[in-house]
Structure 1
Amino acid sequence: MFSIRRFLMTTLIALILGSGMLLVWGTYRTLYHEMDEQYDAELVQSGRLMAAFWRDGHPPQPEIAQLEPREHRYQRYFVYQLWRDEELILASSGAPERALLPLDNPEEGGRYRETGGWHAYALPLSGGRWVVVAESDKARRSLVSNTAITLLTPYVLTVPVILLLVWLAIRRGLGPLTRLARSVESRDADNMAPIRQRPVRELAPLTDAINTLLARLVNTLEREKRFTADAAHELRTLLMALRLHADNATELNDPADVAASMTQLRKAVDRAARTVEQLLLLARLDPQSVSAQQHCDAVAVARDCVALVAPLAEQQGQTVTLKAPPQAWLGLPAETADMLMRNLLDNACRYSPPGTDVTVDISEGDGNVRIEISDGGPGLTEEQQRRFSGRFSRGRQDVPGAGLGLSIVERILSIHGGALRFRLRSSERPAAAVLTLPAAGGSR
């Protein structure tokens, strides 16, 4: 699992150590370059100073030449030589017995060369004499390294302290997030109150999102509680009606009265069956996981729905007609499309006057599939649509049903992003329910 704390620690440690290594390398290179130039200048000055003592043509007195002060730890890395006619006549202790650079063809200003681990400078004098001073490259590197270590030691020693401070800063910075998580985790299932604590600015969007989610959950739970209460009341009413008609059928003696009671009993059973069926449909629509990869042919689904409502339409002397292209692909499952069309078709047949026509017209355009179900009824106004889309709301009490049809339709449309509008009847056009649903992408 991705960890913000681990990511920040890893990133910051890598940046600190990486920048430290770059600092060390850059410091060393800069020191080496600057000190190299400084030592070269001092080497030239030393050579010229020694040449100034020997320009009169007399070498130093032997007792003077043999004097050696107490040796400094870097003294063995600095040597000098005095040559005459390619013969070494004087040298410091530790100086090689060979010439450190060619002593021919005198050059004005002397000759400088890096050779054999030495930085050597030779200055010609009169009479075939040469003054040679040299410094070991090892000495320079040692001096540069020691200087760099001296400068960088405080930084290296403070790196653990810096890392500790970084860890503490990250821990403190993520503290509000940890406290927010504990606050949410410590709540019981019934506590849907919004989070009152105001965290740091960066967590405010998360807190607002959690509060919004809690508000939605509260609304959903309240809606489901109302639905459960309404469903229980509706089912109790149906069961009482079934019990009443059953008692009447057993107590009546007149065959005509018994037949009438049995007819009412069958209607009550049909209504109970339809109510249970629609409750199950609503329950199947409640899960949040909806597959976006399923498709169906709206024309094929419409044919099946027309065939299912045909017996009901025939009982009322109605004609159901389908007008559609060969195919029209919807971006939702066939079962869901069947719920939509069957509920709207069923309402159209039940609430239209006997002897009228019900037409299903399917068309495509602008990435959508348009399904228009027109009938001979008056249609629904916006206020009636809002009222009847509630659960257990029916247009007429004398029409069998549980009042769940439009609730199912509205629920499906809220999941899949479709739209439903009702058109009132006019002199030019019949009343209609117009569905707009997303078409399936790609060719079929």
Structure 2
Amino acid sequence: MKAETREAQAQAWSPEYLAAIVDSSDDAIIGKTLDGTIISWNRGAEQLYGYAADEVIGQPISILVPEDRPDEIPTILDRLRHGERIDHYKTVRVRKDGERLEISVTISPVRDATGTIIGASAIARDISEQERAIQEALRLREDFISIAAHELRTPLTTVFARLQLAERRLSRDEYDREALRRDVEIVRRGADRLRGLLERLLDISRIRSGRLELDRAPADVVALTRQVATELGENAGREVIVRGPEASAEPATVDAVRIEEVLTNLVDNATKYGAKDQPIEIDIAEDRASVRVSVSDRGPGVAPEERDLIFEPFHRARRDPRGVGLGLHVAREIVRFHGGSLTVEERPGGGATFVMVLPKADA
């Protein structure tokens, strides 16, 4: 019995079995001599680099190296001759079709029975997608820092300047109470802008971590829409036309505070970007399952190539870079968390129409 077990183990760890393991790996596994000649090439290497084994065996490993990295292979081979193992080395290689790949490779010296180094094995995997994701994350971080710093600086400068002015007014025996009241009002508005920006930045963090919580309860979305339209229209001194029912036939189970935030963002954007001498139009429609709110302006509209991009964080339209580029992203994610959708389309006759569709039941 023990003899049979030893025989089975010997077969399991035979050179043929080990070769089959190497050949079935998704990673590119390459054997080479100390002068860089390729002597083995598994199926993972074929998939990664595009060469069949009979095309590369006997060829120098340098066929995979970009022309702008001529010293890389000699340096690696020298380290291998000294018995050094190279772990998770990030570099660039070139496929047969000329495509450049970001790879992570581990290269180990191979020794014979006497311990003499006779070659090297390299195990590589494509990390192009990870590297692109890292670069995108770094770009977003830089955008975040740059835009947030700019947006925070503007209200902070106003607040600081007005507080200095108020301080000087109060130092006088007789001061203008009305002027001081205006200073305080400007400081309050600046503080509100800071609070709003910080809340949106926090929302971005909550959305990305999946921790944006909704306090759902039955609410009349139609009445809420009319309320937001009236208040923002009066504050901006703009005409806002609302068409549709006066109230919902059935309430929707939503977080009313969050949906008010979405509606405020859409109407506020329409007042900013729409033609000043033209009304903002809001159309409301509902059925038993959902409520649909469309907010239209008669401004320059949104170019087709930007209709998805404007919902991405920190994206601002090329023709009008006002704002921090967070409002529409947060608005869309809030609607998505409710199981609904927020899109933009061209308004017939010119301008943009933002369409929010919310299910009435808890999605």
1:242 CA drift (Å): 0.8
**Corresponding residue for residue 279 of structure 1:** 201
1:275 CA drift (Å): 1.5
Per-residue CA distance 1:61-86 (angstroms, 9 max, x = gap): xxxxxxxxxxxxxxxxxxxxxxxxxx
Asked if structure 2 preserves the Cα contact closer than 8 Å seen for 1:299 and 1:362, the reply is no
TM-score, with length taken from structure 2: 0.52
Counterpart Cα distance in 1 of 2:211 and 2:202: 17
Counterpart Cα distance in 2 of 1:286 and 1:433: 23
Counterpart Cα distance in 1 of 2:168 and 2:212: 51
Asked if structure 2 preserves the Cα contact closer than 8 Å seen for 1:295 and 1:440, the reply is no
**Corresponding residue for residue 195 of structure 1:** 103
Matched, 1:304 2:152: no
> C-alpha root-mean-square deviation of aligned residues, in Å?
5.2
Counterpart Cα distance in 1 of 2:242 and 2:26: 61
Counterpart Cα distance in 1 of 2:159 and 2:135: 36
Counterpart Cα distance in 2 of 1:411 and 1:260: 37
Per-residue CA distance 1:374-398 (angstroms, 9 max, x = gap): 346554344676786562848879x
1:163 CA drift (Å): 3.5
Matched, 1:173 2:25: no
What are the within-5 Å matches in structure 2 for residues 364-379 of structure 1? 370-375=292-297, 377=299, 379=301
**Corresponding residue for residue 422 of structure 1:** 345
Asked if structure 2 preserves the Cα contact closer than 8 Å seen for 1:321 and 1:359, the reply is yes
1:207 CA drift (Å): 4.7
Higher strand share: 2
Matched, 1:226 2:143: yes
Higher helix share: 1
| Structure 1 residues 351 and 329: CA distance shift in structure 2, 3 A | same
Counterpart Cα distance in 2 of 1:334 and 1:255: 39
| Structure 1 residues 436 and 213: CA distance shift in structure 2, 3 A | farther
Asked if structure 1 preserves the Cα contact closer than 8 Å seen for 2:295 and 2:354, the reply is yes
Asked if structure 2 preserves the Cα contact closer than 8 Å seen for 1:194 and 1:215, the reply is no
**Corresponding residue for residue 64 of structure 1:** none
**Corresponding residue for residue 356 of structure 1:** 279
Asked if structure 1 preserves the Cα contact closer than 8 Å seen for 2:147 and 2:324, the reply is no
Work out which of the two has the higher radius of gyration on C-alpha atoms and give 1 or 2: 1
1:243 CA drift (Å): 0.2
Counterpart Cα distance in 1 of 2:333 and 2:106: 35
1:219 CA drift (Å): 0.9
Q: What letter matches 2:196 in structure 1?
A: R
| Structure 1 residues 328 and 396: CA distance shift in structure 2, 3 A | farther
**Corresponding residue for residue 268 of structure 2:** 346
Task: Give ranges in structure 2 of 5+ residues lacking alignment.
Answer: 30-84, 91-100, 108-123, 170-174
**Corresponding residue for residue 327 of structure 2:** 405
Task: Give ranges in structure 1 of 5+ residues lacking alignment.
Answer: 1-152, 200-205
SS of 2:343's equivalent in the other structure is strand
Per-residue CA distance 1:128-179 (angstroms, 9 max, x = gap): xxxxxxxxxxxxxxxxxxxxxxxxx9xx944531244325647982796799
**Corresponding residue for residue 187 of structure 2:** 265
SS of 1:426's equivalent in the other structure is coil
1:258 CA drift (Å): 4.0
| Structure 1 residues 186 and 304: CA distance shift in structure 2, 3 A | farther
SS of 2:103's equivalent in the other structure is coil
| Structure 1 residues 296 and 359: CA distance shift in structure 2, 3 A | farther
| Structure 1 residues 244 and 385: CA distance shift in structure 2, 3 A | farther
Counterpart Cα distance in 2 of 1:298 and 1:351: 33
Asked if structure 2 preserves the Cα contact closer than 8 Å seen for 1:422 and 1:431, the reply is yes
SS of 1:195's equivalent in the other structure is strand
**Corresponding residue for residue 321 of structure 1:** 242
1:250 CA drift (Å): 2.7
**Corresponding residue for residue 162 of structure 1:** 8
Asked if structure 2 preserves the Cα contact closer than 8 Å seen for 1:309 and 1:346, the reply is no
Asked if structure 2 preserves the Cα contact closer than 8 Å seen for 1:371 and 1:434, the reply is yes
SS of 1:250's equivalent in the other structure is helix
Q: What letter matches 1:420 in structure 2?
A: T
Counterpart Cα distance in 1 of 2:360 and 2:8: 58
| Structure 1 residues 288 and 234: CA distance shift in structure 2, 3 A | same
Counterpart Cα distance in 2 of 1:358 and 1:251: 46
The number of residues matched between the two structures is 266
